[in-house]
Amino acid sequence: MSSLQFDIAHLLAGSLVLASFVMLYQDRLYSLLNVYALHASVLALSVAWQAYVQKAPHLYVTASIALIFKAIIIPVALHRIIARLGIHRELEKVIGVGMTMMAGIALVALSMVVMLRVTPGADALAREDLAFALSVVLLGLLVMVTRRNAVSQVVGFMSLENGLVLAATGAKGMPLVVEISVAFSVLIAFIVIGIFLFRIRERFDSVDVQALDRFRGERR
């Protein structure tokens, strides 16, 4: 692999992490969705680049799945859900942008250290890719943890899944069947969560998960 190919792969994976960071401080739902669409597009690009570099045509399928489902269908569907729920004007309190960003930086550093320590034998691209992928996964989790709105938790989950796909394509040789099944499981999770969103709203007039807690008689 030439150093240019390596650098471009590196750049794309790094942009994915960057997109995750952008996602961290979005406090409006629509902009969060737009960033998610960007996230998925960068993923699609990165996977396509891997397909070209590794000369693995089946990865193009993965890339197109990412592009069509994650960058287009899911964001559009979520847009419509938000519009129907009428929560597009809601501002979401993210727990202190500064704190969140600091935590995110710490997570990236942590995943770098972990990956460099545990994979000394693997080739350089796989190592870098795995480190970036782990950062994306951790940042996705951080999004889920810091949000209260069910929709943004779903988005956090989806971005987490993007990290998994990145890891899988970097590691060379994940069979197509597995990728397709992962893609479909995400789609099904999306459908189930979407249905739940409406059910929650029917019941509580809100998709704020705090309503669920109040319903269970919990104190915060």
Partner 1 sequence: MIAVALWSVAVLLALAPAGIALSTRPRGSFVLYAACLIVTMTLCVTGALHLLDPAHPPSTATLPVGLPWLGAHFRLDALSAFFLVVVNLGGAAASLFALGYGSHEESPGRVLPFYPAYLAGMNTVVLANDAFSFLVAWEFMSLTSWALVVSHHRDSENVRAGYVYLLMASFGTLALLLAFGVLANGAGYDFDAIRAAHPSAAAAGVVVILVLLGAGSKVGLVPLHAWLPLAHPAAPSHVSGLMSGVMTKVAVYGFVRIVFDLLPEPVWWWSMVVLLVGGPTATLGVLYALMQRDIKRVLAYSTIENIGIVFTGLGLALAFKAEGLDWVAALAFTAAMLHVFNHALFKSLLFFGAGAVLGSTGERDMEKLGGLIHRMPKTAFAVLVGCVAISALPPFNGFVSEWLTFQAILLSPQLPSWGLKLIIPAVGGLLALAAAFAAACFVRLYGVSFLGRPRSDVAASAHETDRFSLAAMFALAALCLLAGIVPGLLIDALAPVSHAMVGNVMPHQTGLEWLTIVPIAESRSSYNGLLVFLFVALSGTAAASAIHRLASDRVRRAPAWDCGFPDPNPAIQYSASGFSQPIRRVFGSVIFAAREIGEMPPPSSPRPARLTVVVRDLIWEALYAPIATVIGWATERINVLQFLTIRRYLTLVFSALIVLLVVVAL
DSSP summary character for residue 120: S
218 is a site residue for partner 1 (CB under 8 A): yes
Closest by alpha carbon to 176, among 67, 54, 60? 60
Work out which of 28, 79, 148, 172 binds partner 1, going by CB under 8 A: 148
- In sequence order, the 6+-apart residues with CB closer than 8 A to the CB of 203 are 215
Interatomic CA distance for residues 197 and 77, integer angstroms: 13
Residue number with CB closer to partner 1 (180 or 211): 211
113 is a site residue for partner 1 (CB under 8 A): yes
Residue number with CB closer to partner 1 (64 or 210): 210
Work out which of 40, 43, 138, 168 binds partner 1, going by CB under 8 A: 138
What does each C-alpha distance from 156 to 33, 140, 142 come to in angstroms?
A: 10, 5, 8
Work out which of 117, 120, 173, 202 binds partner 1, going by CB under 8 A: 117
Closest by alpha carbon to 130, among 79, 167, 180? 167
212 is a site residue for partner 1 (CB under 8 A): yes
Residue number with CB closer to partner 1 (37 or 127): 127
Q: Which residue stretch of 3-11, 20-28, 110-118, 164-172 sits at the interface with partner 1 (rule: CB under 8 A)?
A: 110-118
What is the footprint of partner 1 within residues 150-179 (CB under 8 A)? 153
Q: How many CB atoms lie within 10 A of CB 120?
A: 7
107 is a site residue for partner 1 (CB under 8 A): yes
Residue number with CB closer to partner 1 (189 or 209): 209
Interatomic CA distance for residues 151 and 196, integer angstroms: 10
Q: Which residue stretch of 11-19, 28-36, 108-116, 166-174 sits at the interface with partner 1 (rule: CB under 8 A)?
A: 108-116
What is the footprint of partner 1 within residues 14-73 (CB under 8 A)? none
Query: Is residue 26 within 8 Å of residue 35, measured between CB atoms?
Result: yes
Work out which of 144, 176, 182, 193 binds partner 1, going by CB under 8 A: 144
Interatomic CA distance for residues 12 and 32, integer angstroms: 20
Per DSSP, the residues of 16-48 read: HHHHHHHHHT--BHHHHHHHHHHHHHHHHHHHH
Residue ranges in 69-149 assigned as alpha helix (H): 74-85, 97-118, 124-146
Question: Contact residues for partner 1 (CB under 8 A)?
Answer: 107, 110-111, 113-114, 117-118, 138, 141-142, 144-145, 147-148, 153, 209-210, 212-213, 216, 218, 220
